[in-house]
Structure 1
């Protein structure tokens, strides 16, 4: 389960293509067709069961589970009766890091003959270079990456165990596109990775993110509001009780007028461009609005 034998696939363009490529590989390798998913994995048909424009025949092949519920995952694996090709998991969701859950998903997938795929598209090169799997020391069968690694360019890729990606079952799996392995994107990936390593970027993002979480949570707590940041430093997520929602959102609107865009519901992302002065200035602006 913790095998470190990995092989890099061809570079792809866009996170949805990486996740859909992983699904195709999983189906080819296992000879199965069903997917159990947990989280957001892009816009392609298999990711959006029940969405307008997605055929019922496709919807029937994808089921969804709640993050953190291993019992629910096992129930669905049992119900699929040996048809599940892979468990597809967005590794960190808005509650943050959940120790033991990733390892549990890998173990259950293995027990029922399915692959486990970690969607590290948001998490990779933020929480750790190799995402949450790297952070916790858990190796899935396949991992997908995108977003941060190409610093705004549409780069993505997937990696997996050699025995899967080099198998007879997957060797002829068709995955290609006009802009696959685009040189501009490859240059962006190489440069971004070099800068992250040279500047110890992962530790830097953790430090700034933790500073931001502490500062904003203290500021809102002092005035008795439930708005707070949860999760991990490099990508904290906002949460607020329903009773305070309208008031807190108005506060965030006022912060926007001061030049600080704080998304009310979506995870935030730290980067090497942010400085301690940026963090302190944001906390100060929020504090001033709260006291006014």
Structure 2
């Protein structure tokens, strides 16, 4: 398989954009060498690269495009608002409409403020928590991969260059599912932790009583609880993880699926906290979120259309049903090749990822490269198995056929004890690493 136009386009991208993409997870280093397609366009659950190849796409827009590309109701809503103007010197009535629609969908929140990306929303939540509590430390869940591009989080990763140690020292970590360890952390930093921030769930449902226990623990120690719902919001439940599990946090952040690819995210929470960033509090003012493009009318129109589609077409249930079929199929194919312990599918059916393990059961970048390469050759662009509602029966069958072909090669590589002949070049690399 050769992608000459994509290879040339990747060179153009790297000449003018650091990393060759605007998101590290989309970088060419995440794909087999010379097999990083550059996208021309998409429709439904398919995308086309600049070489003219068509792919069934998973993880669309890093989980953002859950309805499929160019969804008609979303596109129509966006086009209608663009024709009426997108940004003004005073709030548009669309801002009130979108906020009311959001709060009707996520009734556990009292107020909401929109912005453009998830990092701004989570950082605003951290700042608000610090202001409300007067405390400096942020406790983040050590088992969750990403919260923000801002210093309070990035300084804790392998890519900490440019972040002063004094900033990094203001972030501490707690383990998911372990209330005792979290309480020990809070006692160690008694009176210093402003908030606990985490995803309410990732690969599996939380342990029974964990989220409620974590909220009670945070409040007993004077800290706030923040749910990062960038992924769980809408994809796990139309009401977010807080609605699904019946635990209301003090603050929460939404994005990704909210706009079906359009740039919109949200900070939501209790009125007494959110008003610290408003004009109706006698406390010191919090510069919460103030973005020129945060309330572009077409993005808010997209969000309202997305929420309508989720409600009227039972999208969350559809995502779970599609993901279930895919997961069952992949597991059956892997088992038939004796790879049940090497090619694994994890996560909630609406948010599936796959693991590629070696003979000792360890995650392997080499075997991931082999697997990705074979998927691409079968017409599947699959950095994950995160589904969209646009996937058809034919798309799923093509995916399973590609998985079956990949498992044949995987088996050969395991039997040979060396996957390198099937990699086509250097292995794919983890996003967070110190050196390029």
TM-score (norm 1): 0.90
Say whether the 8 Å CA contact 1:28–1:170 is kept in structure 2: no
Q: 1:281: which partner in 2?
A: 398
Task: Map Cα deviations across residues 223-258 of structure 1 (whole Å, 9 max, x no partner).
Answer: 111211111011012224332744464133112111
Name the residue aligned to 2:242: 133
Deviation at 1:291, TM superposition (A): 4.4
**Is 1:242 matched up with 2:348?**
no
Q: Could you tell me which of 207, 218, 232 is aligned with 1:99?
A: 207
The answer to whether the aligner puts 1:259 opposite 2:373 as a matched pair is no
2:232 is paired with a residue whose SS is coil
What RMSD in Å do the two structures reach over aligned CA positions? 2.0
Q: Look up the SS of the partner of 1:154 in the other structure.
A: coil
- Helix, strand or coil: the match of 1:190? helix
Q: Does the Cα contact within 8 Å between 1:29 and 1:170 map onto a contact in 2?
A: no
Within the candidate set 395, 407, 410, 1:290 is matched to 407
Q: Does the 8 Å CA contact 2:250/2:270 hold for their aligned counterparts?
A: yes
- Tell me how far apart the structure 1 counterparts of residues 392 and 284 of structure 2 sit (CA, whole Å): 46
Contact 1:155 1:189 in 2 (8 A): yes
What number of residue pairs does the alignment pair up?
Answer: 285
Alpha-carbon distance between aligned partners in 2 of 1:64 and 1:13, rounded to the nearest angstrom: 27
Aligned residue runs from structure 1 range 70-81, under 5 A: 70-81=179-190
Match of 2:151 in 1: 45
Q: Which of 126, 132, 135 is 1:23 aligned to?
A: 126
TM-score, with structure 2 as normaliser: 0.62
Structure 1 residues 11-65: Cα deviation after superposition (integer angstroms, max 9, x where no partner):
1110000001111111111111110001211110111234111112211110122
Distance 2:397 2:241 in 1: 27
2:281 corresponds to 1:173: no
> Residues 107-256 of structure 1 correspond to what in structure 2 (within 5 A)?
107-166=216-275, 168=281, 172-174=285-287, 175-225=289-339, 226-243=342-359, 245=364, 246-247=366-367, 249-256=369-376
Structure 2 gap ranges (5+): 1-106, 410-436
Higher Rg: 2
Tell me the distance in 2 between the aligned counterparts of 1:271 and 1:171.
Answer: 44
Distance in structure 1 (CA, Å) of the matches to 2:312 and 2:263? 23
- The verdict on how the C-alpha distance between 1:288 and 1:112 changes in structure 2, with shifts beyond 3 A counting, is same
Q: Where does the alignment leave 5 or more consecutive residues of structure 1 unmatched? A: none
Q: Distance in 1 between matches of 2:284 and 2:328?
A: 49
